C-alpha cells in the first residue's frame, strides 16, 4: 500500500494522450467491449482541442505521487463534455472515468469523481450526468457518492443512434 498518496487531477496535455488511449482500451477490456474503441491518439488530440482547434471534450488525467514513487505516475483519466438540460440549463456529462486496477483502494476513484464534481461546479453546471453498465460494481460506489439511478427513479432509458442509422435518417439538406 502506498504511503502518503498525493493525487493531482489536471487537464491532459498532448504528451498524456498515449497513456489516455491505453487506459481507454483497458476500460473497454474491463467492460467486455475490447473491439469498441476506434479513436486514435490523433483523434483525441483533435477532439480535446489540444491541436488548437475546436474543443469537443475535456480530457483529464489523475497522477499519483508517493514516498516510494516521488515521480508522478498517471493512474487514471476521465473524459467529460458539456450537455444541456431544457429544465436546468448547463450540464456536464462524464463519458469515462477510470483508475488503473493496481492503484484502486487508495481513494483515487473518490478523488477523481470529486474533482469532476468540482469542474461541474466551476463551469456552473446544474447536473453531472453519466451512465454505468448494469453489472458494473462501481454502481454501488456512485450511489454512495449520492448519484441517483434514473432508470429506476424516473424510468428514463438511455438510447443511441449509430452512424449508419443517422445516415438513413438525415434529411441531407
Q: What is the CATH number of the domain that holds 110?
A: 3.40.630.30
Structural domain contains residue 145: no
SS3 content of the chain, % helix, strand, coil (to 5): 35, 25, 40
pLDDT tens digit sequence for 26-79 = 999 999 999 989 999 999 999 999 999 999 999 999 999 988 888 999 999 999
Active site residues: 142
**Percent of the chain residues past pLDDT 90, beyond the cut:** 79
Q: How far apart are CA 43 and CA 40, in angstroms?
A: 5
Q: Range of 20's domain?
A: 6-131
Strand positions, DSSP E, 51-88: 58-65, 73-85
Question: Is residue 81 classed as helix, strand or coil in its secondary structure?
Answer: strand
The residues, any chain, with a CB within 8 Å of residue 34's CB and separated by 6 or more, are 25, 28
Structural domain contains residue 28: yes
pLDDT at 37: 93
**How many CB atoms are located within 10 Å of the residue 9 CB?**
19
pLDDT tens digit sequence for 79-106 = 999 999 999 999 999 999 999 999 999 9
Q: Which residue has the higher pLDDT, 11 or 151?
A: 11
Structural domain contains residue 63: yes
- Average pLDDT of the residues in 2-27: 94
Report how many domains make up the chain.
Answer: 1
Record the cell numbers describing residue 68, joined without a space: 516510494
pLDDT at 172 over 80: no
Amino acid at each position: 500500500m502506498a504511503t502518503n498518496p498525493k493525487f493531482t487531477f489536471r487537464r491532459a496535455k498532448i504528451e498524456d494522450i498515449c497513456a489516455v488511449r491505453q487506459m481507454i482500451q483497458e476500460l473497454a477490456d474491463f467492460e467486455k467491449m475490447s473491439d469498441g474503441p476506434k479513436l486514435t491518439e490523433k483523434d483525441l488530440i483533435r477532439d480535446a482541442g489540444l491541436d488548437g482547434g475546436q474543443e469537443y471534450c475535456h480530457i483529464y488525467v489523475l497522477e499519483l505521487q508517493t514516498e516510494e514513487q516521488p515521480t508522478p505516475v498517471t493512474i487514471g483519466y476521465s473524459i467529460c463534455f458539456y450537455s444541456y438540460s431544457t429544465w436546468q440549463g448547463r450540464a456536464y456529462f462524464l463519458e469515462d472515468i477510470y483508475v488503473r486496477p493496481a492503484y484502486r483502494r487508495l481513494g483515487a476513484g473518490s478523488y477523481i469523481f470529486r474533482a469532476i464534481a468540482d469542474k461541474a461546479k466551476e463551469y456552473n453546471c446544474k447536473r453531472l450526468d453519466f451512465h454505468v453498465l448494469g453489472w458494473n460494481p462501481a454502481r454501488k460506489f456512485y450511489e454512495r457518492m449520492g448519484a441517483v439511478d434514473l432508470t429506476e427513479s424516473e424510468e428514463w432509458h438511455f438510447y443511441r443512434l449509430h452512424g449508419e442509422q443517422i445516415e438513413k435518417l438525415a434529411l441531407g439538406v
